[in-house]
Copies of this chain bind each other. A is one copy, B any other.
Amino acid sequence: MHKRVKERAPAVEECLHQLNENKLQDCLKDLHPADIAEALPRVPLAQRVRVMRAAGPEKAALILYELDRDMIPPLLEALGPKRLAEVLNDMSDDDAADILGELPENQKDQLLNLMEDAEANDVRELLKYGKNTAGGIMTTEYVSLKEDITVARAIDHLRQVGSEVETIYYVYSINENAELTGVISLRELIMAPPDARLEQVVTRRVVSANVWDDQEKVARMVAKYDIIAIPVVNDHNQLLGIVTVDDVLDVLEEEATEDILKLANLDVGGQDLVETGPWQRAFRRLPWLVGLLFGGLIAGNVIKGFSGTLEQVTALAFFITAMAGGPGNAATQSLALVVRGLATGEVNQRRLLKTIFKEAQVGAIVGIVSGAVLALVAVLWQGNTSLGLVVGLALAINITISTMLGSFFPVIIQRLGADPAVASGPFISTLMDVTSMFVYFSLATWLLL
Contact = CB atoms under 8 A, between A and B. Distances in A.
A427 interface: no
A348 to B, nearest CB: 9
16 contacts: A1-B180, A2-B208, A34-B224, A168-B187, A252-B252, A260-B336, A281-B362, A296-B326, A297-B319, A297-B377, A300-B320, A300-B322, A310-B317, A321-B324, A324-B324, A325-B328
A16 interface: no
A162 B38 CA distance: 36
A79 to B, nearest CB: 23
Interface in A125-182: 155, 158-159, 162-163, 167-169, 180
Given A225-B32, A370-B289, A249 B252 contact: yes
Contacts of A2: 208-210, 213, 233, 235, 237
B1 A295 contact: no
Contacts of A263: 260, 263-264, 336
Interface stretch (A51-59, A104-112, A351-359): A351-359
A369 B32 CA distance: 45
A321 B433 contact: yes
A324 B321 CA distance: 7
- Number of identical monomers bound together in the oligomeric complex: 2
Given A297-B377, A320-B320, A333 B285 contact: yes
A191 interface: yes
Contacts of A46: none
Contacts of A366: 282, 285-286, 289
A329 interface: yes
A190 interface: yes
Contacts of A273: 337, 340-341, 346-347
Main secondary structure of the interface of A (DSSP, over half): helix
A25 interface: no
Interface string A90-132: 0000000000000000000000000000000000000000000
A20 interface: no
In this complex, the member of A207, A252, A274, A299 whose beta carbon has the largest number of chain B beta carbons within 10 angstroms is: A274
A119 to B, nearest CB: 20
Interface stretch (A69-77, A301-309, A412-420): A301-309
A340 B261 contact: yes
Given A266-B336, A325-B293, A347 B274 contact: yes
Given A5-B207, A289-B399, A350 B261 contact: no
Contacts of A344: 253, 257, 270
A311 interface: yes
A256 interface: yes
A326 B292 contact: yes
A248 interface: yes
Contact of A314 (B163, B168, B228, B307): B307
Nearest to A361: B278
Given A290-B370, A297-B381, A307-B317, 15 more contacts: A162-B187, A163-B191, A223-B250, A248-B249, A266-B333, A266-B337, A278-B365, A282-B362, A285-B333, A293-B325, A296-B324, A311-B314, A321-B324, A321-B433, A329-B429
A374 B266 CA distance: 20
Nearest to A276: B358
Contact of A369 (B42, B282, B346): B282
Interface string A200-236: 0000011111100100000001111110100101010
A184 to B, nearest CB: 13
Contacts of A296: 319, 321-326
Across the A-B interface, give the 9 residue pairs with the lowest CB-CB distance, nearest first: A296-B322, A264-B336, A256-B256, A300-B318, A2-B210, A282-B365, A278-B361, A1-B208, A299-B321
A405 interface: no
Contacts of A325: 292-293, 295-296, 324, 328, 429, 433
A155 to B, nearest CB: 7
A132 B437 CA distance: 44
B208 A293 contact: no
Contacts of A336: 260-261, 263-264, 266
